[in-house]
Chains A and B, each alone.
Chain A
Amino acid sequence: MSDVGSEQNPVRAAIVGSGPSGFYALEALIRSEPAVLVDMFERLPSPFGLVRSGVAPDHPKLKKPIGVYQKLAGAPEFRFFGNVNVGRDVSVEELRNCYHAVVFACGAETDRKLGIPGEHLPGSHAATELVGWYNGHPDYRDLEFDLSHDTAVIIGQGNVAVDVCRILAKTVDELKHSDIAKHALEALAQSKVCNIHMIGRRGPAQAKFTHQELREFGELTECEPVVNPKDLELNETSREELADRNNRANLKSFEVLQSFAARPPPASRRRCRFHFLKSPLELKGEHRVERMVLARNLLEGKPSQQFARATEELEELTCGLVFRSIGYRGMPIPGVPFDEGRGVFPNRDGRIIDGESAVPGLYATGWIKRGPTGIIGTNRADSVATVKALLEDLPNFGATQKPGADGLKSFFEYRGVRVVSYEDWQKIDSAEIRRGQAAGKPREKFTRVEEMLSVLDEVK
């Protein structure tokens, strides 16, 4: 029998997840020397992960990598199996039997909790939920957010927090020509929210958001940014941090904050106020969130390692809506080791490990490998590294031939899984674009799995 990687016995690889890391793994595999055949499994009928359902609808340019993925999907070595949830519709064991290698690119799909009293009161949500809702992700389709209160608080100062604040701050006119989900646009049109507070536990020199994203708050139709100049007074260590060339991104954000602090008092209907050095201790309210108790913090520690320590000084903020935006978190899949602490698949250079030893044939890339940080392009270098490890392991795969998804057909039939092929997805895609045209939107997403599948029944 021929060696794995030859034309007669190509490497059979499964990729679990169709976000950026999945598609960049595909790219690296098809550009590699050995012959490969790649099947990609995605739990939704629609591909592209967070580029479709995370990246903000009003940032269409940042969704352009989808064009790259569409081209990659045209490769003859590639097949797409949408609407297949790995761990539920097909087990990891079954995949291992059918493939030489399984690459997990399944992202970080849930959220981190604050772990404070009152966090579960109605009116307190994860940013993850709002993001999925306005982007039309089927899992979040039926959530409701009470936008009838005038004050919303967002905990965290990363770019996701920025997205959430900006979507709450924009007018319907600023959003209506984006691919924002119809149900979200309708709800936001009725929104009474006009005081938006973004709360950081550390100082203005440590915020994680980037300056381009921050700058947009100065350019909104009906919302102005508010920064208290006093909050920009830095301790010695933070000044040292900003003087370090490696922190030039933080310095740029700091300069934008300075420009916000220098603005005249806001005259707009809405305002977004940036707070620093405050941590939520408790959410209070009779039946739903009414107030947040915050502690003033101090920074301690060495340059670039400063952490927030709460002081005795407290304040209360009246609010009707709270979003924690403190990071995403990976979810386990049965049959794959899971690091509970970090919420990732434990791995060494992308090889999934159980304790100290590598689990043969299992790999990870993207957010489930590194944790929930990094932008779309970060995943490209990451997937190249994982695929490099995979190809180094080629000699261990033996000479056995693997059937790929042909070996899974009977399982799908038996379990009644309606597999969505890439051609099927293209039909759904066209239908979404058609639906959008009337409303002047790039697309009107289907927000339920059944809706997507019914498109396929219609055009048959």
Chain B
Amino acid sequence: MTTIVTDNCKRCRFTDCVTVCPVSCFHGDEEMLYIDPEECIDCGACIPKCPVEAIYEDPIPEDKQHWIEINEERALMFPVIQDQQDPYPGAEERKAELGF
């Protein structure tokens, strides 16, 4: 099973997702978050928390498949994000832009 963060997460940082992760497996670079597939237990707790529906679980749609590898690689490169952060400036606007 797989749970991944995808493009909608870019420039957001609402990070509601990380607050409910039982194993703290979210990692982040400047732009967005990634889930470490080795640690993630696919419990789905984070999915309803994301205000822009950036998180996908199985079955992963065709057009999001490439994010599996991106999450796997980038999670290992960046630090764990464990606590809620302030959203990036413009995050609300972007959310509206995305139709949420």
User: A: which residues have CB within 8 A of B?
Assistant: 20, 61-62, 64-65, 67-68, 210, 212, 245, 249, 375-381, 384
Contact = CB atoms under 8 A, between A and B. Distances in A.
A384 B23 contact: no
Given A375-B45, A376-B43, A212 B57 contact: yes
Contact of A380 (B1, B19, B47): B19
Contacts of B83: 384
B72 interface: no
Contacts of A210: 44
16 contacts: A62-B41, A62-B43, A64-B41, A65-B22, A65-B23, A68-B22, A212-B57, A245-B53, A376-B43, A377-B20, A377-B22, A377-B45, A378-B20, A379-B22, A381-B19, A384-B19
Contacts of B47: 249
A380 B43 contact: no
Secondary structure at the B interface, as helix, strand, loop or mixed, is loop
Secondary structure at the A interface, as helix, strand, loop or mixed, is helix
B57 A377 contact: no
Contacts of A212: 1, 42, 44, 57-58
A376 B22 contact: yes
Given A375-B43, A376-B43, A377-B22, 16 more contacts: A62-B41, A64-B41, A67-B23, A68-B23, A68-B24, A212-B1, A212-B42, A212-B44, A212-B58, A377-B20, A377-B43, A377-B46, A378-B45, A380-B20, A380-B21, A381-B19
Given A212-B57, A249-B48, A61 B42 contact: yes
A65 B41 contact: yes
A377 B40 CA distance: 12
Contacts of A62: 41, 43
Contacts of B48: 249
A382 to B, nearest CB: 9
Nearest to A252: B57
A62 B22 CA distance: 10
Contacts of B24: 68
Nearest to A246: B48
Contacts of B21: 377, 380
A64 B23 contact: yes
A123 B51 CA distance: 46
Interface string B53-70: 100011000000000000
Contacts of B44: 210, 212, 375
A455 to B, nearest CB: 29
Given A68-B23, A380-B22, A384-B19, A61 B57 contact: no
Nearest to B24: A68
Given A212-B57, A249-B48, A381 B20 contact: yes
B91 to A, nearest CB: 19
Interface in B2-42: 19-24, 41-42
Contacts of A376: 22, 43, 45
B79 to A, nearest CB: 15
A212 B20 CA distance: 18
A380 B22 CA distance: 7
B22 A61 contact: no
Nearest to B58: A212
B52 to A, nearest CB: 11
Most A CB within 10 A of own CB, among B19, B21, B43, B47: B43
Contacts of B53: 245
A381 B16 CA distance: 9
B73 to A, nearest CB: 22
Nearest to A377: B45
Most B CB within 10 A of own CB, among A20, A68, A249: A68
A380 B24 CA distance: 10
A332 B76 CA distance: 45
Contacts of A61: 41-42
A61 B53 CA distance: 24
A24 to B, nearest CB: 8
B98 to A, nearest CB: 12
A67 B40 CA distance: 12
A449 to B, nearest CB: 27
Nearest to A210: B44
Most B CB within 10 A of own CB, among A67, A210, A380: A380
Contacts of A377: 20-22, 43, 45-46
